[in-house]
Amino acid sequence: MPKEPIDITPDDSVVPVYLVELTDAELAAKQAEFEAQQEAKELAETERATKLTSAITKLKALGLTETEAKIIIGIE
């Protein structure tokens, strides 16, 4: 059974702040969700870096310098 939120609003605040205690199962679920989000973010960053490298390589094959390729892509 979930516990009632605890009001921890500072006296000088106009925005209410509550502390909610989580069960071990809820905490484990939130941790798993966080780890999945982190993995997805890392994968997206890796995919983006791979695509940028590929684009630079293709532009260099057309005769551009790396600096020119980066300018066209918009990363420099």
Distance in angstroms between the alpha carbons of the first and the last residue of the chain: 55
Q: Is residue 10 part of a domain?
A: no
Please list the residues that pair with 19 across neighbouring strands.
6
Q: Is residue 36 part of a domain?
A: yes
Q: Is residue 39 part of a domain?
A: yes
8 Å CB contact between 4 and 19: no
Looking at residue 6, what DSSP letter applies?
Answer: E
Q: What is the pLDDT of residues 11-37, one digit of tens each?
A: 999 999 999 999 999 999 999 999 999
Q: How many CA atoms lie within 13 A of 71 on its CB side?
A: 5
Domain that holds residue 62: 23-73
Q: What is the pLDDT of residues 48-64, one digit of tens each?
A: 999 999 999 999 999 99
Q: Is residue 6 part of a domain?
A: no
**More confident: 23 or 3:** 23
This prediction's pTM? 0.65
Distance (Å) of CA 38 to CA 24, 35, 56? 21, 5, 27
Number of domains in the chain: 1
